[in-house]
Homo-oligomer: A and B are copies of this chain.
Amino acid sequence: MDTAVVRGTRRAAAAPAGQGDGNARGQSTGRKRDPERTRAEILKVSTGVFAAQGYSGARVDEIAALTRTTKRMIYYYFGSKEQLYLEVLKDAYGGIRAAEREIQVGSLNPRDAVRRLAELTYDHHAQHSDFIRLVMIENIHRGVFIRQVESIRDLVQPAVGLLEEILKRGRAEGVFRHDADAFDVHLVISSYCVFQVANQYTFGYLFGRDLQEPPLSDHLRSMLGDVVVAWLETGAEIKN
């Protein structure tokens, strides 16, 4: 597994004299004593490591080694591996939702708006694979961690809010079907977008195609638009 690769390097060369388990570093170059910065660095590095190795697979030692501080500091700032992971999760969700709020599709007609939204979401996911990996990890753990971070729940509204608005307009204009609400559409879009990142390795291996590479990835992006729009437009006249 890739953990092996990462770990393999860890002790590389096994420096002549013993120097501890993971993190030995003689650096004394410049910036130090900046708690905010230190904390942020640990958080950033941890995000990468947790996303790469999973919760059990992540090593506090490895995180420390990738940081300018020591392992002790991680405990100083975060208390435990679990607390650290919780912070990482919270931070990741916060960042992703903030980005979602940036989306502006008000000026487009419903059909184009929903296509735009879907395609932006598609790119957004592709660009934040670490976040998606964290979500996968959370689900592997049956959501035991996310449930401890209440603040995350509050962030979900805006994601569907915009969709709701577009759908309402579309239905009012008679171009969208009536039996698909924001939750439904969000789920269709999410599942598709998450999949191409989350399952890229198995799917890519089985079919011998890289879902994230340009020729195919562009096709997949527009295909999502097709799917969503076709679905929403079909049976638009029928009120239910």
Contacts and interface: CB of A to CB of B under 8 A. Distances in A.
A196 interface: yes
Contacts of A3: 16-17, 53, 56-57, 59, 62, 141
Contacts of A21: 75-76
Find the residue from A6, A55, A140 having the highest chain B CB count within 10 A.
A6
A233 to B, nearest CB: 7
Interface string A37-59: 00100000000000011111101
A223 B183 contact: no
Interface stretch (A81-89, A105-113, A165-173): A81-89
Interface in A101-154: 133, 135-147, 152-153
Contact of A140 (B80, B133, B204): B133
A142 B206 CA distance: 13
A79 interface: yes
Contacts of A194: 191, 195, 198-199
A230 B233 CA distance: 8
Nearest first, the 8 A-B pairs at minimum CB distance are A143-B201, A191-B195, A18-B77, A14-B24, A230-B234, A56-B57, A15-B17, A56-B56
Given A190-B203, A227-B231, 19 more contacts: A3-B59, A3-B141, A4-B4, A8-B9, A11-B83, A12-B24, A14-B19, A14-B25, A15-B24, A17-B35, A18-B35, A18-B77, A139-B202, A143-B202, A191-B192, A191-B195, A191-B199, A227-B227, A230-B230
